[in-house]
Chain A
């Protein structure tokens, strides 16, 4: 995997200047490591996670948390210790009002539902930011106040869990396939944030978060920037509420409240700074996924009646230990000056891909396809089978059928990594290299598609 990336070596000097910016983020080291460790453990404990429905269910359950973490992150970056404790009750508030309005016959249209949820979230955060800016009390007090008030009003609006979600959401919460609308929401939200990071507004936001006085003296309109950050946060909260509604397919006044603590935890685990100025969707998503995977892994163990207690114990211990491991970051930085999260992510993902393949690959199925292949030789055959093109026995044919999706996914991974790296590295130069990268990437992808097309389309549920 390091082969294609070694092309970046000549630009080392340029990369080191970039290291001063946001691209080399050592705080992502911990979430990435933890993510892959947990993922490997989860797959080994329960290979069914790596089926279409397993991943689908994981996405459905984790997405509200991820989006709630995004919402926290957007406002936490703006500084002054803005930890929006009211995010959980806000999600609950949008959920219960959505259900009640739908029950009253309003809000049938999906577009109206989305607009309503995001508008309510944005409106709440708008008021929040106005209070922070003009009344000038600490944001945590505003959020504490909002937490208590919204928790109360949620119970007034919907005293006990009930109601039905709008019908178009009905099958969103099943989680039987990977490609659900929930995933689209998540990807669109992440992409929107990534696009936002390219704007000057984002630079202003980060400057304000790290040092508000410096931002003010250098002419950044801090009032507008703060309002903007909160509006973005409110939109994320609205999306989180929609995904939450789709997940439980009804209204629940108190369930949403639990998201507060988990989302704050996910935010910190994802390497964001509660003091402001540092944070991103990549880390936040990883932090939220880590928390999901912790509960998933713990659920695969059976402790009988003390299950929930052991879960609590392990959950707390993991939180503390993972934070303690961040103490290693300065030590690591002494040896690795220019830590690239992307490279690290790709390297670890290859290792974990191997683990996933090992855990989910049905060696028995291979043996069954080729009648003459004995059991113990399966691994050998799986490795060499796709290379022996000359003799197309039924056994190798079966092997190729099984291996094609794996080869395809590996190629995809390589191409995406190289392409991303090139695109990021070259984005500020007026050269033709990005275009070349695009052409090469397109060629490889076309080739991979052709390969997968000729061998037919077996069940793709093996790897990703």
Chain B
């Protein structure tokens, strides 16, 4: 950022004036809506700062690019056509679909849908133009754009979508998925896969309730479950490291084994064959129930837990030597082991964390549902993968990070909430969900053509 060319003085002044005008408009609207003065002042300052920052840096990025375009070749119009051919086709396709939908579906052509269309087109244009300027973290930018677009479209079309309760419930489910995806992200950064996560979640869910129903103190039972999850992760990591490239089957195998084993243990001496009954302690229920409170604040603590862990992971992976080594191993394991990074240790640690967080998700899900169910984690088999992939972490290792996965989790959650909100049935939800993952990923995770890789 330091070596960016600065905008000229008139440009800076123009930006400042525009920002001031915008802020004034915002303040006017704030008073018109009768908000409190503190909020108006805060938002005015935020608007101004954001705008000036954007003006200074984003414009700078464009300025640097500007001289490159003046080259010889075909006429500018033709150049533009060559460069933007496919996006234009895409735009035309979307417009066509919109027109067809408006003509066929009764009441489709209303102001909110037109606005949604503009937001969608805006996202596309922004990602195609502005997204190119970001050398790194492009997927994060696009992810946030998609998230903002989805959220605004949702809140326009669905009543109560942007209400506090709905946001709370979205964050609650997002935090379960987010915690379950931690392991998948770490493992994907190394180039592995962990399919045992859903099984460990289910096993922890049933196993914890079983231990509690046996009379073990809940805190001890939780520690035991977490320890078993971590142990399984260690086994997974060790085996996956030894059997390079077979992580998929190894983790699947250990997953089947633990889910079968826990069910055997819980059904010995029980006539309900696998169903466990018991009471969940109040503190565990409070941790992840919708009406839970965090130090008196009205949101379930699991959201705060997720936030803190996400923060630690994001900062830790960027700044600590452990995080950097993890990336180094993912990018090129040969050179990483040449500089004395123990490959096995990182594999084992990544999988152990994966097992730990899977067990934690299972325990928290017990608090949410209040009853043990072995299949509670089943949906996370592909959802954790989808969150990692949609966020922009490469499954081949080395690129991405947990911050990306957080964005991916939020996008998936808002999307599914939106699909539920417009009243789609489960099967249609899944269908559209599947169809939407592909274009979302295609916005940024396209690999270069083979001829540029030689």
Residues of A within 8 A of B (CB): 81, 83, 85, 131, 135-138, 140-142, 144-156, 159, 212-213, 216-217, 222, 261, 264-265, 268-269, 273-275, 305-306, 309-320, 323-324, 326-327
**A306 and B265 alpha carbons, distance in the complex (Å):** 10
Q: In this assembly, does B282 line the interface, its C-beta being within 8 Å of a C-beta of chain A?
A: no
Contact B253 A137 (CB under 8 A): no
Residues of A within 8 Å of B451, CB to CB, are: 216
Q: In whole angstroms, how far apart are the Cα atoms of A261 and B196 in the complex?
A: 12
Q: Please name all residues of chain B whose beta carbon is closer than 8 Å to the beta carbon of A136 when the two chains form the complex.
A: 446-449
How far, in Å, is A253 (CB) from chain B's closest CB? 9
B254 touches A316 (CB 8 A): yes
CA distance A142 to B257 in the complex (A): 29
Asked if A141 and B260 sit within 8 Å, CB to CB, the answer is no
CB of B87 within 8 Å of the partner chain: no
Centre residue among B253, B259, B451 by max chain A CB count within 10 A:
B253
Q: Is the CB of B427 within 8 A of A152?
A: yes
* B binding-site residues for A, Cβ under 8 Å: 239, 242-243, 245-246, 248-250, 252-261, 263-264, 267-268, 273-274, 382, 385-386, 389, 394-396, 426-435, 437-438, 441-442, 445-451, 453-454
With a cutoff of 8 Å between Cβ atoms, the chain B residues found around residue A144 in the complex are: 382, 385-386, 389, 434, 437
**A320→B250 contact, CB < 8 A:** yes
B242, B249, B263, B447: which contacts A327 (Cβ < 8 A)?
A: B242
Contact between A326 and B243, CB atoms less than 8 A apart: yes
A212 to B454, CA, bound (A): 10
By secondary structure, the A interface counts as helix
Q: Is the CB of B430 within 8 A of A312?
A: no
A309 to B260, CA, bound (A): 4
**CA gap between A274 and B389 in the complex, in Å:** 18
**In whole angstroms, how far apart are the Cα atoms of A151 and B252 in the complex?**
21
Q: Is the CB of A268 within 8 A of B386?
A: no
**Residues on the B chain within 8 Å of A324, using CB:** 239, 242-243
A23 to B116, CA, bound (A): 59
Q: Which residue of B lies closest to A89 (CB)?
A: B434
Known contacts A268-B246, A274-B248: does B428 contact A156 (CB below 8 Å)? yes
In the complex the two chains form, what is the Cα distance from A205 to B142 in whole Å? 35
Q: Bound state CA distance, A269 and B204, in angstroms?
A: 28
- Contact A156–B431 (Cβ < 8 Å): yes
Tell me, in angstroms, the Cα distance from A145 to B385 when the chains sit together: 11
Decide if B264 touches A141 in the complex (CB within 8 Å).
no
Chain B CB count within 10 A is highest, among A159, A222, A323, for A323
Contact present for B454 and A310 (CB under 8 Å): no
B263→A306 contact, CB < 8 A: yes
Query: B393 CB to closest chain A CB, in angstroms?
Result: 11
Q: A141-B445, A320-B239 are in contact. Are A312 and B434 (CB under 8 A)?
A: no
* Chain A minimum-CB-distance residue to B246: A323
Contact of A156 with B260 at beta-carbon distance under 8 Å, contacts A135-B446, A144-B437, A216-B450 already known: no
New contact pairs (20) apart from A148-B431, A153-B427, A309-B260, CB-CB < 8 Å: A85-B382, A135-B446, A136-B446, A137-B447, A141-B389, A141-B438, A149-B433, A152-B432, A159-B427, A265-B249, A268-B249, A306-B268, A312-B260, A313-B257, A315-B256, A316-B255, A316-B260, A317-B253, A318-B253, A324-B239
**Contact indicator A148/B260 (Cβ below 8 Å):** no
Which residues from A are CB-within-8-Å of B396? 81, 138
Q: How far, in whole Å, are A212 and B446 apart by their CA atoms in the complex?
A: 17
Contact partners of B437 in chain A: CB under 8 A: 141, 144-145, 148
- A316–B257 touching, CB < 8 Å: yes
Which A residues touch B250, using CB under 8 A? 319-320, 323
**Across the interface, which residues of A come within 8 angstroms of B264, CB to CB?**
306, 309-310, 313
Please, which residues of chain A bring their CB within 8 A of the CB of B432? 149, 152
Whether B426 contacts A155 by the Cβ 8 Å rule is: yes
Find out whether the CB atom of A142 lies under 8 angstroms from the CB atom of B430: no
Cβ contact within 8 Å between B267 and A81: no
Query: Which of B252, B427, B454 is close to A155, meaning CB atoms less than 8 Å apart?
Result: B427
Cβ-defined contact, B433 with A309, below 8 A: no
Task: Write the nearest CB–CB distance from A366 to chain B, whole angstroms.
Answer: 43
Contacts A273-B245, A319-B252 known; A146 to B260 CB distance under 8 Å? no
Most buried by B among A217, A222, A324, A327: A324
Q: Could you name 6 residue pairs across A and B whose Cβ atoms are closer than 8 Å?
A: A137-B438, A137-B446, A144-B386, A152-B434, A275-B245, A324-B239
Contact across chains for A312 and B256 when beta carbons are under 8 A apart:
yes
Residues of B within 8 Å of A319, CB to CB, are 249-250, 252-253, 256
The 4 nearest A-B residue pairs measured at CB: A148-B434, A312-B260, A149-B434, A316-B256
Which of A135, A149, A212, A326 contacts B431 (CB under 8 A)? Answer: A149
* A150-B434 in contact (CB<8A): yes
Q: With both chains docked as a complex, state the minimum distance between the C-beta of A281 and any C-beta of chain B, in angstroms.
A: 20
Check B249–A312 contact: CB distance below 8 A.
no
Residues from chain B with Cβ under 8 Å of A275 in the complex: 245
For the complex, what is the distance from the CA of A205 to the CA of B255, rounded to whole Å? Answer: 34
- The distance from the CB of B185 to the nearest CB of chain A, in whole angstroms, is 15
A264 (CB) vs chain B CBs: closest residue: B248
**A residues within 8 A CB of B385?**
140, 144
Q: Are A153 and B431 in contact (CB under 8 A)?
A: yes
In the docked arrangement, what's the CA distance between A152 and B254, Å?
28
> Do B427 and A268 touch (CB < 8 A)?
no
Complex contact A311–B450 (CB within 8 A): no
**A196 to chain B: closest CB distance in Å?**
24
Residue of A with least CB distance to B437? A145
Interface pair A138/B447, CB less than 8 Å apart: yes
Of all chain B residues, which has the CB nearest A253? Answer: B427
Residues on B with C-beta less than 8 A from A147 are 382, 434
Q: Given A216-B454, A319-B252, decide whether A141 and B259 contact each other with a Cβ distance below 8 A.
A: no
Q: Which of B274, B428, B447 contacts A152 (CB 8 A)?
A: B428
Q: Which residues of A contact B242 (CB under 8 A)?
A: 324, 327
Residues of B within 8 A of A320 (CB): 239, 250, 253-254, 257
